[in-house]
Amino acid sequence: MVCQDPVRRSLLLTALAAGAYLAGKPAAAEEDQPGSDERPQKGDFLVHSEGEHADEIIKPSDLTLGGPPVHAWPKDPQSSVIRKGSRLNEIVLLRLDPGELDEQSRSRSADGIVAYSVVCTHAGCPVSEWVKAAETDKKILKCPCHNSEFNPRESAQVVFGPAPRRLAVLPLAIAEGSLTVAAPFVGKVGAQQAG
Residues at the interface with ligand FES (CB under 6 A): 120, 122-125, 143, 145-146, 148, 161-163
Considering the complex, state which of residue 71 and residue 75 has its C-beta at the smaller distance from ligand FES.
71
d(Cα 60, Cα 95) in Å, to the nearest integer?
8
Q: How far is the CB of 147 from ligand FES (least distance, A)?
A: 6
d(CA 86, CA 83): 7
- For ligand FES, the closer of residues 58 and 143 by Cβ is 143
Count of other CB atoms within 10 angstroms of residue 74: 28
Nearest to ligand FES of 74, 124 (CB atom): 124
Calculate the alpha carbon distances from 87 to 3, 34, 64, 65 in Å: 48, 16, 25, 26
Task: Output the CA–CA distances (angstroms, integers) from residue 127 to 70, 71, 131, 163, in the order listed.
Answer: 12, 10, 11, 11
Minimum gap (Å) between residue 136 Cβ and ligand FES: 19
Cβ atoms within 10 Å of 168's Cβ, excluding its own: 23
Minimum distance, C-beta of residue 75 to ligand FES, in the bound complex (Å): 27
Kindly tell me which of 19 and 195 has the beta carbon lying closer to ligand FES.
195
CB of 157 to ligand FES, least distance (A): 14
